[in-house]
Amino acid sequence: MKKTALCLMVTIGWVSLGTPTFAQMPTTQPRTSAPIVTDGGYLLGAGDRIKLDIFSVPEYSGDYQVLADGTLNLPLAGSVVVQGLTLKQASGAIANQYREWLTRPVITVSLVASRPIQVSVSGEVPRPGSYTTTLTESGIPTLTKMVQLAGGVSQSADLQRVQIIRRKPGQNAGTQTLNVDLRQLLRSGDISQDLPLRDGDRILIPAAATVNIDEANLIANSSISVSYDQPLKIIVAGEVNRPGPHSIRGEVTPQTGTNGTTTTVSQKVQVPTVTRALQLAGGITGAADIRDIEVRRRTNSGIEQVVRVNLFQLIQAGDARQDIPLQDGDRVIVPTATILSPQDAATIARASFSPDSINVTIAGEVIKPGTLQLPTNTTLNQALLAAGGFNPRAKKRSVEFLRLNPNGTVERRSIALDFNQGINDQTNPPLRNNDTIVVGKSGLAGIGDALGTVFSPLTGILGIFNFFR
């Protein structure tokens, strides 16, 4: 059949081509659906419903469904392959088909209803896998929305090297890799990093080679972080009073806000941190080295990350960055201090992650001998006073001091007493849990005890003699 001028067809109403049959008419009449706004790179596929507008030819304009084989079945033009094409490319392909019937056809294709969009998320997320969503009139699903569906970004993620692997438009056109820096989104609000997604996209969130404590805190306080509503399983080892596995949950704190004249109260979950884990483990021991605490975590890719934390900077300089957030499966290891000055010991003992009390045994010549529960950071002189002080038989010039070291050895030394001294490792050391102080007898009391031992048999004989007398 010869081409017919567009103006002629409009004028005569396509009489020369015959009246369209019912099977050739668009799938939906009348057309009332509003088109969905896309990013221009949306690739059509089976299940999509499109709106076809043929300029000045309303008879064949309308809504059509992309069939299972990726084609549109159009009146006169027949089968047109649109699988993997953008809306613009589909317009061109349909126009080429209609050139046999129209002179310079002007065709517009818009998306009315999308098929389910399937996107995979892998890497450092709690729930990697395949997820399905749809396009709506409110917009296209974005990278951050899909990451949230996968449970959020783990602390081990490298936000600067996020990748989206995407099919290129066209049939068998291969793939392309889009690099995304989500850190720029979180730090400066660069919304361009939150890319719109397409069907078949693959999101890869790699693990960081080294963990930056600033970035860890940035992730934890963001909207794309993992949820802390459920308890985390962690292990605390080393110089803590209750080492072993623990379950830690984020603390819920109320948040009050004002919206105009309305006051709203919401709840915010505080992220579990290293200091919370130490508190849960009974606090640190007196031999803990808080300058070199290790947080070890296993990533989804199988590598182990090691984060070093200096909590001494936290309690001395207020460096809150050191109290890093934890994630499920973390191991917190508190090493043993090789050298700990009395001043450092006093500073550490006042920290919130130190135990509230210690057990100290005081034996010998005091008013109340036994095991006492004393405040952390108690000194030797304070412990003697807590035991009621010396009794009349006590040796008041020195005491024996015993301490069980972490390596299993026992430190034993004689300490000269001076109640005018402040904290001093030589004469008035700060005590640790399970320290022992032995107060000996004075010389006169020792002589009296010796004489009593010698004369005790004679006392028994004299007693018998007095009985018969």
Do residue 323 and residue 238 come from a single domain?
yes
Q: What φ, ψ does residue 418 adopt, rounded to 5°?
A: -150, 100
Output the pLDDT for position 24.
39
**Same structural domain for residues 121 and 103?**
no
Q: Are residues 176 and 84 in the same domain?
A: no
Indicate the residue among 316, 349, 382 that finishes a domain.
Answer: 349
Q: What is the pLDDT of residue 152?
A: 93
In this structure, the answer to whether residues 240 and 343 fall within a common structural domain is yes
Please report, for the domain that includes residue 26, its CATH number. Answer: 3.30.1950.10
d(CA 188, CA 435): 53
203 and 123 together in one domain: yes
Residue 381's domain comprises: 357-444
Question: Within this chain, do residues 106 and 122 fall inside the same structural domain, yes or no?
Answer: no
Q: Is residue 408 domain-shared with residue 424, that is, in the same domain?
A: yes
227 is a domain residue: no
pLDDT for residue 279: 92
55 and 25 part of one domain: yes
| CATH number where 205 lies | 3.10.560.10
Q: Has residue 247 been placed in a domain?
A: yes
- Domain end, chosen from 113, 144, 164, is at 113
Q: Please check whether residue 465 lies inside any domain of the structure.
A: no
- Please tell me whether residues 318 and 374 are part of one structural domain: no
Give the mean pLDDT per block of 10 residues along the chain (469 residues). 35 33 40 60 84 87 90 89 89 90 88 86 94 72 91 91 88 84 92 89 92 85 86 93 90 60 59 92 88 92 90 90 92 88 77 86 92 87 91 89 78 87 80 88 62 53 50
Counting the structural domains of the chain, the total is 4
pLDDT in the model for residue 11: 28
The verdict on 55 and 150 lying in the same domain is no
* 320 in the same domain as 419: no
